[in-house]
Structure 1
């Protein structure tokens, strides 16, 4: 199932397998990698104690481990029986743990009850929970049928109980926390009800649990500390979802991500978010037929910037007034504790709107970009419709540490809260008469805080309920200080005015007195002098009066004439200037028009060229888009093919349908060029054949003891097998069960068997230290017993030219046997126990694996100077082999590792992981395309040598150790042997061989309803076998 946030991209058919910051959901368990196997320990403790506390660092994946590890296992019936059902109740304490628990109980029933009266039901349940310490038991008994259902209560983020308790230092909060803990403890103590409790908690809050004795006892008895992920765990967390999503990722990028994560457990959600963003960028901007690479990762800002830049994108989509609401919202749902730890503070939308002085619809509009598809910064997820009562929360604490804006907001909010708390405490002290009103600088800081913060009653009551008292105290302090300052200013002005008036009056009087004295004296002197001049001038004036009057008339005439000439000249000058300007302007205009014409001609040429280029580019883009569409469709159909292979294995009641689904899986895989050895397609065909032809359709029964080794005669269908029952059986693989023949039956164990490359001899090593040699060309010849060793013969290797063979024994010798004289010599005396030995295809080297964990190589021309290729302490080398070309040496060890070495320099090429126990045998197909490995874990794995990163085919039908494997000379069969039950099994090496056989067994096609159920409703129905008329 693909969740809404991992929806399939309509353009390319791929879905994003990474959830981002939020935890994985139950339906995303197929995408959860990196903590495989850890749920078993949690399950065991939950089964024993009906309670388990899952404890880990922030960001370590506690919630995901529960939802994707534990819950799917419970649904599988591992507690309470296979037919039991589970009801999951998920809650978080928050600021009202009991109210939240009652809401969670009602929500868990809402799928079957009418939702119209959920609020009333929730209040009833809450009342029962608060009525007594047994309230949870009573509620569960009343609400669920405990004969048919098991109840799992998941309390996520349990540390919230302590966060709110410490931030609300009032007795009611403490009492509620204590009552909530008692509900859980008493529910766990009731032994006859199937109530199971799981809580997740950050490890840095574990000390807080000591406040509640019974809770501490529960946690001490049953807890699971989530271990820090190793480098390999992180690798699987990266590569696993990518593979499920139908893509590939470059090894270089994986290594870079692992290096950036380091050993910091806090980085997991940051890594998940960066991978989510990288996937989005890759699908939108890169070639999806190519692996995700480092450039895709760097384009999103890498782990250090990806989250911050992604959050900023959402923020930048908002209008200016919405940005203020956004800031207020994030400040409301986050806090910083006294120890500077970031704390989430889930809050309802209506409370956020009240604090932000906004409408509920405006707040919802701001929230949507931060929880849109592909963005998981805020919960609930985008598919849930929001209303005024919806609780808004950060998806993860890491957002407070990484997003640059939110870090600033959290610090600002913390500063604002500290100011309000100081103000509230001061107002309380003032009311008690223990302090006075505030004065600067405290007063000015508080006024600045009020103007910037604009605190509301809803905001303030979260930290101290006496909001009105604090605001009145601040206002009173401000008014008192302003009144004091205004009074000082008035007194200063009054004094200054008095001083100014006195100085002006005094100065004016002195100036007037002096001025009057001087002025009167000067007037007297001047009056006498002017009187005398006046008398002389009077006479002259009368004479000149007549002359002046005549000159005045002449001057006025001349002046008038000059003015007229001047005006005419000015008019001519202005006219000339105007004409000159018009000529210049016309010339400039003409030049501009010429340049514009040239530019437009040039633009027209460029536009024509650009249009031609764009047309060609559009054609190329259309072709590329079509290729991308076809590739996306191909990938989707391959995903459906893989899914069909898995689904076919789950069908048990209709054998024909099981076969049809498996065969359709094979058809899709072939048609859309899927991997030739897809394990799901392969196993779907195998189990379909097994269902139709019987459980032992591919088994060979002839031995009564462990089949320890098998060997083919080169170039034929003849195979020999031997083992613990002392038998050597000859099989004709064209019809093995009808033609097998026991050619020897001895009273001792025969451990190893091989046939020389020239098909002349069959050689068998025994626990009696003897080697038996059979002449295959002469059926009447006697068996030769070759004696030389003094202990068990554990391995034999024949030279490529069939001239000699070597044998290894527990007597710590390696002997060389001449196949013309059958004489032997001790070739090598070795102190360490040798488990396995091979001769290189070029007949130049002998290679052995020891119990001490060494791979030793001897040059046949220089036996006395062995070379240690590899050494790993106590991890024994249990099997080795060469491929037929001789360029690969493969080793298997006691821990289940299969390692491939380059024989040119003996450097490690790859380490194939998957087996959980000792590797017992290794073999290459004749064309070196396939490598098979068998193990004491009961499985055989078949790997594609050209695509070692592809998942191997895992063959699991042996119920015990798989001791030997061998490919048939034609490469079509892989034979495996074991020590129990169907001791020899025949496996096809390719899906097509089984598909041909399965086709002959099927007699109908799928019906359209079956097609819709198993293939897909939007994939056009087709008949698997068009030649068949019958479809049901």
Structure 2
């Protein structure tokens, strides 16, 4: 009988402890949610208080006994909005992470091998080089023309930039001072649908307006490697085995494997045994494939579509992994971070999103401060920052880790909450603490 009583008592105590922990976790989660929302609705003229509430919510979220993915979207948003008003330039209506000198929509942003600089292109025909450490400095103009630039791409070695024009061919622009004397700007006037560099080689691949896939070297030698009857929006070349992937307006993922076979791809009938062919086409639906990226480990192809979703494709097995949904309109650009665990997408819904591929339950971080379509986005080489560009002609920089926002608040706000503010926004029953020393 004593054993039964003891066991029952232990069970009761354990249940009580578990319940208390659940209640405590729920309260912290609710507090984080509440404070994040209070910070967001706090008017901009109460700058310091807006920031202090946001950083306190971050502190509870970071150090509380709750799952890290709970409320992370609210915390990031509150910290970002608070930072916007710290040092806000009301005369030029510009916040700290906003830069812009283009006179038309920003179509691409890319990094080279130097993590301190990135390049942007625009429909105004220019390519600018920006210093990441001096976002409001005057950028260097590396190329200027009267053509509409639909996208730019950097070679793997970071020495040559490719500018692809809308219906006007492309240009190869040397960016490395060591090769600028030997290699001047080269313009290929042949109109193309799109183009990309061949990894590790001084060659590029283009799709002509009539559907021919041409591999060209800087010495102008041309190799015919494939043909398509579909409209191609983007090309990607797998640097591990040289497979060429094409995303098409018809929603078909096409691929040409080495050795390349020059044959026209189907429009109505996808090849019956496509998994065994050097060419294959796989219809992923009727929605246009607009952008693609290959993961750093070479195992996954990420595909952004007109539907507003992302398809993750297993390269080795040639099959669907899963579909990620969230955008309300066309996905315009897509990129893995250097570790391959995060995925950046941009969209015509006016947002960019950072998805955690390891946690399907985790909501994406939503970057929604552009006033128009977001056309392009890129991680910096270390994966700590994101650069986006859009139809509002602005470029914006975003830290991936919200700790940067918290650090900036501590640097820029020179006071702490008063006891009265703490009682109102945190709670009189929670011990007062100072976050920023």
In the superposition, the TM-score normalised over structure 1's length comes to 0.38
User: Which of the residues 55, 65, 72 maps onto 1:678?
Assistant: 72
CA displacement at 1:715 relative to structure 2: 4.8
Question: Partner of 1:640: helix, strand, or coil?
Answer: helix
Counterpart of 2:392 in structure 1 is 980
Select 1:938's aligned residue among 339, 342, 350: 350
- Superposition map of 1:578-597 within 5 A: none
Q: How many residues align?
A: 412
> What corresponds to 2:418 in structure 1?
1007
Secondary structure at the counterpart of residue 153 of structure 2: strand
Distance (Å, rounded) in 1 between the aligned partners of 2:352 and 2:418: 36
- C-alpha deviation, 1:757, in angstroms: 1.6
Supply the distance in 1 between the matched residues of 2:56 and 2:181 (Cα, whole angstroms): 52
Deviations 1:387-423 (A, max 9, x none): xxxxxxxxxxxxxxxxxxxxxxxxxxxxxxxxxxxxx
Whole-Å Cα distance in 1 between the matches of residues 314 and 9 of structure 2? 48
User: Structure 2 CA distance, aligned partners of 1:638 and 1:867?
Assistant: 49
Report the aligned-residue RMSD: 2.4
Asked whether 1:650 is paired with 2:61, we answer: no
SS at 2:120 equivalent: strand
- Number of the residue aligned with 1:920: 332
Gapped regions of structure 2 (runs ≥ 5): 89-93, 263-277
Q: 1:852 to 1:1023 in 2, by over 3 A?
A: same
Q: Distance in 1 between matches of 2:67 and 2:21?
A: 14
Partner of 2:268: none
Q: Check the 8 A contact 2:226/2:260 in 1, yes or no.
A: no
Distance apart, 1:657 and its partner CA: 0.6
Partner of 2:270: none
Asked which structure has the greater RCO (Cα within 8 Å, sep 6+), the reply is: 2
Contact 1:717 1:969 in 2 (8 A): no
Aligned residue among 975, 981, 995 for 2:406: 995
Within 1, Cα distance between the matches of 2:330 and 2:261?
29
User: Which has the larger Rg?
Assistant: 1
Q: 1:693 to 1:891 in 2, by over 3 A?
A: same
Larger strand percent: 2
CA distance in structure 2 between the partners assigned to 1:948 and 1:809 by the alignment: 39
Contact in 2 for aligned 1:775/1:781 (Cα 8 Å) = no
- 618-627 or 765-774, which moves further after superposition? 618-627
Residue 745 in structure 1 maps to residue 111 in structure 2: no
Query: CA 1:1005–1:923 in 2, change beyond 3 Å: closer, same or farther?
Result: same
- Asked if 2 retains the 8 angstrom alpha-carbon contact of 1:966 and 1:975, the reply is yes
| Residue 818, structure 1, aligned to residue 232, structure 2 | no
Residue of structure 2 equivalent to 1:720: 119
Contact in 1 for aligned 2:289/2:305 (Cα 8 Å): yes
Which residue in 1 is equivalent to 2:251? 853
Matching residue within 348, 358, 368 for 1:956: 368
Structure 1 residue aligned with 2:275: none
Aligned residues of 2:300 and 2:313 also touching (Cα < 8 A): yes
Cα gap change, 1:632/1:788 in structure 2, threshold over 3 Å: closer, same or farther?
same
Q: What SS does the corresponding residue of 2:327 show, helix, strand or coil?
A: coil
Q: Distance in 2 between matches of 1:656 and 1:718?
A: 32
Cα offsets for 1:84-115 (capped at 9, x unmatched): xxxxxxxxxxxxxxxxxxxxxxxxxxxxxxxx
Q: Secondary structure at the match of 1:687?
A: helix
Q: Which residue of 2 aligns with 1:868?
A: 281
User: Are the aligned partners of 1:844 and 1:861 in contact in 2 as well (CA < 8 Å)?
Assistant: no
Deviation per residue, 1:855-893 (Å, 9 max, x gap): 1122132444421233313x2111111111122211111
Question: Could you list the per-position Cα deviations for residues 685-720 of structure 1 after superposition, in whole angstroms to 9, with x for gaps in the alignment?
Answer: 111010112142111222111211111013532211
Query: Are the structure 2 counterparts of residues 669 and 787 from structure 1 closer, same or farther at C-alpha, using a change threshold of 3 Å?
Result: same
Structure 1: unaligned runs, 5 residues or longer: 1-606, 1028-1032
Alignment of 1:561-960 (within 5 A): 607=1, 610=3, 615=6, 618-619=9-10, 622-623=13-14, 625-652=16-43, 653-672=45-64, 674-675=67-68, 678-694=72-88, 695-738=94-137, 740-767=139-166, 768-774=168-174, 776=176, 777-787=178-188, 789=190, 791=191, 793-818=192-217, 821-864=219-262, 865-873=278-286, 875-960=287-372
Q: Secondary structure at the match of 1:1015?
A: helix
Greater alpha carbon shift after TM alignment, 642-651 vs 899-908: 899-908
SS in 2 for 1:954: strand
